[in-house]
Chain A
């Protein structure tokens, strides 16, 4: 089953990928054909970029339109009048504050627990040898091939029996103990030279001390990857909240915006788009700040969600 993991050499290659271009090739005589080829590549790149970003641009543009202009024909890409008021009104017309507060609470608690228990368990898997360890890790890895959708029903019944369904704790439990964190951190710990912990051990540091004083500080990049991926994943989760959070006071931003579409008889789409933009902004900021860690996290673990 270990074949399920992304090839480790890929991860290493990617460490540098995020912020650097490929090394320059030895200069060759530039023939006209080569130049045409390069222009062609740029054209493909531009078309791809347009296709990639058009939906986002349209979303932002629509959030600044009047309700009628969203569906005007021909489609306007720049609003005739910028209706900044949409961004004020969405707060009064919906429970955005409640939704954002719930989502933020979940994302922070889940991320904290996932990083803490994940890195702790990863140390046990990476550095302490005991009978049954490898078999146990295989069980962890094996669950990657099992989609959550296939055991969501017994899980729901279990959590209902424990009386946590329809509370925010259900989502915390659901997201915080995945195999993902353990796996990502274990991959990283194995790149840290054993000599370091050996020296600390000779100095009388316990294994817990080594985890706390040596491994945690050294694994900050991996912790950042894990924290960012977990945060974004929890922020965006739709299915978990859909199944577990029935009470509108508990809704997350995703559930709230979805209900906003279906609840209003005459949905003001411009307003809805303002809400969508607000829901995407935190993710965009996190992504811009930590894009390197996202890319490394994906390349190291090769999985998410």
Chain B
């Protein structure tokens, strides 16, 4: 990060000026800095920081629809442990992540490698692959819902054409609903991660590839021994973002399946939403939010430490 620019500013009047002068400068800079940051910070604090702090308090109360709250300590968390729906939501979130993370990672990296070739039409495709990512979830979910329709949908028609007698019921089947959601989310997200990978690939030194080629390394060997190690800062970043985004998956599921059929696609965020906004158990929902909060923080910190250890 460029603290160097800033040091220059601070070091600007280097004249022997004494303690008072320096502290006056520090004061001036503090006021100046805050005057720039404050308009954004006020909103940021009110909308993000305060809610995060309040969240922990709320999770220890039985805050309800009337706004009355009594301190209940860890009761909400004890209740969570015994709550079957919460367990299902947690397992479904992990199931979704276990499918979505590797699949998106591989597809996005594959696309990036493909588009890093010198082929006609590549420049167009690079940006076009990104389009699903900026299309609204509602449009995407509605379109895919109908594409997945078991009897009339084009997807099953194609599967039948290729000789599959009983194609899956997709969103109507509790076994196939989650894979269907994963297919859509991968289709949507791959362009975004592909751009990150493509950017990373530009930094892989060409000479390394040439040297490896001269040494007789095959394409596959070069991928594992040259490309992947050079990409490590990017793969780290992609993995962290993929994990956080998988843990918090919500809007796509809400529009596509609403957690169904049954509870087969109920995820953590939806559990929070239902308990909070539909059943008005704000305290209990906050406890589940705390769980989601720590899942994301722990995974981020763990990957950060792992990345640091490996790069030493």
User: CB within 8 Å of B: which residues of A?
Assistant: 1-7, 9-11, 13-14, 17-22, 24-25, 38, 41-42, 44-45, 48-49, 51-56, 58-59, 62, 70-75, 116-118, 120-121, 123-134, 136, 139-140, 143, 145-158, 173-174, 176-179, 181-182, 190, 194, 198, 207, 211, 232, 235-236, 238-239, 242-243, 254, 257-258, 261, 269, 272-273, 276, 279-280, 283-284, 287, 291, 294-295, 298-299, 302-304
Q: How far is the CA of A295 from the CA of B126 in the complex (A)?
A: 9
* A49 contacts B125, C-beta separation under 8 Å: yes
Q: Which residues of B contact A1 (CB under 8 A)?
A: 304
User: Residue B137 contacts which of A38, A127, A238 (CB distance < 8 angstroms)?
Assistant: A238
Interface stretch, picked from B52-60, B73-81, B169-177, is: B52-60
Nearest CB on A from B195, distance (A): 5
Q: Is the CB of A136 within 8 A of B199?
A: no
Which residues of B (107-163) have their CB < 8 Å from a CB of A? 111, 114, 116-123, 125-132, 134-140, 142-144, 146-147, 149, 152, 154, 157
In the complex, A158→B241 CA distance in Å? 28
B307 within 8 A of partner (CB): yes
Contacts of A11 in B (CB 8 A): 199
User: Of A174, A257, A287, which one neighbours B142 at CB under 8 angstroms?
Assistant: A257
Give residues of chain B (261-312) contacting chain A, Cβ–Cβ below 8 Å.
268-269, 272-273, 276-277, 282, 285-286, 289-290, 292-293, 296-297, 300, 304, 307-308
Q: Are A150 and B289 in contact (CB under 8 A)?
A: yes
Name which of B29-37, B82-90, B95-103 contacts chain A: B29-37
Shortest distance in angstroms between B113's beta carbon and chain A's nearest beta carbon?
A: 10
Main secondary structure of the interface of A (DSSP, over half): helix
Do B251 and A239 touch across chains, with their CB atoms under 8 A apart?
yes
**How many pairs of A and B residues are in contact by the CB < 8 Å rule?**
342
A149–B111 CB distance below 8 A? no
Query: Is A10 touching B196 in the complex (CB atoms < 8 A)?
Result: yes
Which chain B residue lies CB-closest to A133?
Answer: B33
CA distance A133 to B6 in the complex (A): 11
Determine whether the beta carbon of A52 is less than 8 Å from that of B132.
yes
A283–B136 CB distance below 8 A: yes
Determine which of A13, A59, A139, A190 lies in contact with B143 in the assembled complex, contact meaning CB atoms within 8 Å.
A59
> Which residues of chain A are within 8 angstroms of B139 by Cβ–Cβ distance?
59, 257, 276, 279-280
Interface: B214 (CB within 8 A): no
Q: Find out whether the CB atom of A18 lies under 8 angstroms from the CB atom of B126.
A: yes
Please tell me which one of the listed residues B30, B43, B55 contacts residue A173 in the complex, with CB atoms under 8 A apart.
Answer: B43
